[in-house]
Amino acid sequence: MRLHIHQLEKSFGSKSVLNGIDFTFEQGRIYGLLGRNGAGKTTLFNCLARYLDHDRGGIGIDLTEEAADPQSFFSVPRPDYRESDIGLVFTQPHLPDFMTGREFIKFFIEINSDKVINPKEVDEYFRLVAFNPADGDRLIKGYSHGMMNKLQMLISMYILQPPVILLDEPLTSFDVVAALEVKNMIKSIKKDHIIIFSTHILQLAQDLCDEIVVLQDGLLRHIPQESIHSPQFETDIIRILQDSPEVSEYQQP
């Protein structure tokens, strides 16, 4: 399975945010998406998850095993991917305040019964993300940021299990223990998914991601895999993000 992006463009008025991105993400890999504030990471995620319409270009999910480059993939007319094929976990949890956690999960499963794979009991789902079932009977309004994020990850990663999972800086609100649990969760499901993870924390990107891509000047730049664990990684990334002329060694794939 691959997620193809071909010549993707998106502007807001006169401000061009995505300038013709060409990239292919592959199943079984965790991609770290890096970029400065305002580089367009959230816009890219919103376009992929269909929360925003893009201006030009194409996005497609190739569910076949055969490798194909974006150009040949888009040269054949094929049905569009479904909204539910891409799950987006927001930085700010996006949950209804006046529902209990248990109600939310229960109703969520009822509403999405056609998309839920192997439905389980609500408490069983809670256990998957180390969420205390007793807290399930409290209002979401009173939950901590971390608890809300766990619920959000639960629905996106364990209940719906979409082929592509986009995580927009999801670990920022977790304490060290919860962050480790979530990191392990992400690693445990990567085999069957394409996971794209945006973060500003370079150490986390090194630790968790198999591939690193940098969004700069509206384009995605792939960082060679061997560089991720090199001692120069941090300096190199900062140089790229500072738009240094010395970054020419990193080319777009």
Partner 1 sequence: MRSLQMMLTTRKISTAMTLNGLVYFCQKIPVIGKAVPDSLYGLYGAKTVWVILANLARLMKRLLTKTIYLGSLFASSFFCAVITGDDKNFNVFTDVGRIMTFFFFFSYLAAALAFGKALNLDLGTDLLMIDKMHSDAGKYVPARIYERKIIDFFATIPLAIVLSFSDQYTIWQALLAVFLMTASKLAFESAVLLCFAMLRRVAKIRYRILSILYVGAGILALMAPFYIMIKKIPFSFKALVFHPAFVIGIMAAAIASVFYINRYTHYRELAFVSVTNYNLALDKRQKEKTRTQFGNTTEFAAKLNKDDLSSDRFSHLSGYAYFNRIFFHRHRRFFAKKILWRTLLIGLAVLAATIFILTGNLGADTKEKLWGISFRILPVCFFILYTLSIGRTATAAMFANCDAAMLSYPFYRDPKVVIPNFYLRLKTILRFNVPAFSLVAVLALMFDLFSRAMTNMDAALINWSMILPYLVTLTMMWLFFSFHDLFIYYILQPYTSELGVKSKLFSIVQGFVWFLAYINLQMSNVNIWIYMAVIIAATAVYLIVGLLCINKFCAKTFRLK
CA-closest candidate to residue 21, choices 1, 36, 41, 51: 41
State the minimum distance, in angstroms, from the CB of residue 8 to partner 1. Answer: 17
CA distance 196 to 240: 20
Mind giving me the DSSP string for 167-196?
Answer: EESTTTT--HHHHHHHHHHHHHHGGGSEEE
Q: Does 137 bind partner 1 (CB under 8 A)?
A: yes
From 101-109, 198-206, 207-215, 219-227, give the range in contact with partner 1 by CB under 8 A.
Answer: 101-109
- The nearer residue to partner 1, 170 or 237, going by C-beta atoms, is 170
Q: Which of 138, 200, 222, 239 binds partner 1 (CB under 8 A)?
A: 138
Q: Which of 92, 132, 225, 230 binds partner 1 (CB under 8 A)?
A: 92
Contact yes or no for 141/101 (Cβ under 8 A): no
Q: Does 48 bind partner 1 (CB under 8 A)?
A: no
State the minimum distance, in angstroms, from the CB of residue 98 to partner 1. Answer: 4
Q: Which of 139, 177, 180, 238 binds partner 1 (CB under 8 A)?
A: 139
For 80, which DSSP code? Answer: P
State the minimum distance, in angstroms, from the CB of residue 7 to partner 1. Answer: 19
Parallel, antiparallel, or unpaired: how do β-strands 194-198 and 30-34 relate? parallel
Contact yes or no for 91/169 (Cβ under 8 A): yes
- The nearer residue to partner 1, 16 or 100, going by C-beta atoms, is 100
Q: What values do phi and psi take at 60, rounded to 5?
A: -150, 150
Question: Residues in the site for partner 1, rule: CB under 8 A?
Answer: 46, 50-53, 83-84, 90, 92, 94-96, 98-100, 102-103, 107-108, 110-115, 137-139, 141, 155, 160
